[in-house]
Amino acid sequence: MKEQSSIPVTKTQRSAKFVKTGFQIGGNYIKHYSKKLFNPQLTNDELNEDNATDIYKSLSELKGSALKIAQMLSMDKNILPKSYIDKFTQSQYNAPPLSGPLIVRTFTKSFGKTPEKIYDKFNLRSTNAASIGQVHTAELKGKKLAVKIQYPGVGDSISSDLKMVKPFAFRLLGMSEKELNIYIKEVEERLLEETDYELEVKRSIEFSEACKNLNNVVFPTYYPELSGKKIISMDWIDGHHLKEFLKTKPSQELRNKIGQALWDFYNFQQHELRAVHADPHPGNFLITPEEKLGVIDFGCIKEMPDDFYYPFFSLISTDVIKDKAKTIEAFRKLEMIHKEDNAEQIEFYYHAYREMIELFARPYTSEVFNFDNPDFFARLYSYGEKISKMAEFKQARGVKHFIYVNRTNFGLYAILQELKAIVNTTTYKPHLK
């Protein structure tokens, strides 16, 4: 893949990139409707493909929060047309890498030294590049290391980028402005944390220590003395990303083993730590030659406060959902039903959300769940699509914690679906009063 020799860093440069992309998208629409005059049966497939290509190219050159939103959207399979999903999925671990001189400059700024003066060996060509940073291999005292380097200007451009992403998000997501603002505020908070590599090293050490006794889950050792605000050094873990792993045609037994490790990893955190690795895309995991799940990124952590955890997990793991009054009470605590709603609205949202939660909770309410279940996912995605088009859901509903907790659980479901794993879902259960 062609390397990038520079990144637009200033607000003016980044704004110009967004404006140029907007013009390209406008041109795609003109081209599409011109063709449609001569062929009324023409579908939107080519338009979506052209728009997805232009938007992804722009976001991947901008990197940072702009690309991170593409990454997040690629996991919401019921929100975007397939062409967007296919393009944006590349952002998970395959964005255009930065060139060598930019890498050396980042090291010199951080440590006052070039990488070859820090490590015995350092490969200037990256092994993979994503939204916030890219990874290089290095060697020190006979150990192979993974060195993650943050793109220049990523942390400084988050707020202004998100403002510029808003018009694209309006068009793609169809959210109301209030809902979009809540979404963007929560995304901004998590992204600011993700660009704090010193915080990431601290959390990575804490979480890998807390999760060290989980079956078939492994973590790299982190080196704070070789890390800083823009650089993280950790042990290299050999293994395949999910797509490569699936190409090896693993047995059902091995799929189940990795799926179980993934389920345990997420539910141990949710229920024992009350804070969870909230970035469950395949680029953050490896399947090792020893048939274990390697977790290689703790940049995005979502903490779950009591006032969210108790009502949410009571709905999906107890009999509360069978009691209408208790269910409505939980919906009120979670701001899914508002205090100003009238009787008719309460009834509408009660039925709509109850149907959604009963569907979402099926893995939690079964002792063993087969994620190779096309009917379950078809119903889940079609329900999501149905409500996304309903006027009643254009206003903001639900506390902000849903954004990352839903992202985490739907991301987990999506990976387990790709694995076609059969999982024992009783290993780590919610702790409820």
Residue 194 pLDDT class (50, 70, 90 cuts): confident
Cα dist. 283→37, 126, 243 in Å? 42, 15, 10
Cα dist. 55→169, 199, 245 in Å? 11, 31, 29
Domain extent listing, the chain: 11-94+156-173, 96-129+132-154+195-236, 238-433
Does 148 or 49 have the greater pLDDT score? 148
Q: Does residue 301 register a pLDDT over 50?
A: yes
Cβ atoms < 10 Å from Cβ of 197:
23
Q: What is the 3-state secondary structure (H, E, C) of 388-414?
A: HCCHHHCCCCCCCHHHHHHHHHHHHHH
- Where does residue 19 rank: exposed (0-12), middle (13-18), buried (19+ CB within 10 A)? exposed
Predicted pLDDT of residue 247: 94
CA separation for the pair 333, 313 (Å, rounded) = 12
Q: Does residue 144 register a pLDDT over 80?
A: yes
Q: Does residue 91 register a pLDDT over 80?
A: no
If one looks up domain 96-129+132-154+195-236 in CATH, what number appears? 3.30.200
Average pLDDT over residues 173-182: 64
Q: Buried b / exposed e across 37-52, counting CB within 10 Å, b at 16+? A: eeeeeeeeeebbbbbb
Cβ within 8 Å of residue 340, ≥6 positions away: none
CA separation for the pair 33, 22 (Å, rounded) = 17
**Residue 104 DSSP SS3:** helix
Predicted pLDDT of residue 284: 87
Model confidence pLDDT, tens digit, residues 233-271: 999 999 999 989 999 999 999 999 999 999 999 999 999
Q: How many residues does the chain have?
A: 433
2's tokens: 């062609």
Q: Does residue 369 register a pLDDT over 90?
A: yes
Going by their DSSP bridges, the two strands 422-424 and 368-370 should be labelled as antiparallel
CA separation for the pair 232, 44 (Å, rounded) = 43
List phi, psi (to 5°) of 358.
Answer: -60, -35
Does 70 or 180 have the greater pLDDT score? 180
Q: Which of 62-66, 153-157, 362-366 has the highest mean pLDDT?
A: 362-366
Q: Does residue 5 register a pLDDT over 60?
A: no
Of all residues in the chain, the percent with pLDDT exceeding 90 is 44
Sheet strands (E) in 86-157 = 121-122, 128-129, 133-140, 143-150
User: Mean pLDDT across the chain, nearest whole number?
Assistant: 79
Does 167 or 42 have the greater pLDDT score? 167
Q: 3-17, 213-227, 282-296, 370-384: lowest mean pLDDT where?
A: 3-17
Pair 103, 124: CB distance under 8 Å? yes
pTM: 0.76
CA separation for the pair 345, 393 (Å, rounded) = 11
**Residue 141 DSSP SS3:** coil
Number of H helices, E strands in the chain: 16, 12
CA separation for the pair 160, 11 (Å, rounded) = 7
- Where does residue 128 rank: exposed (0-12), middle (13-18), buried (19+ CB within 10 A)? middle
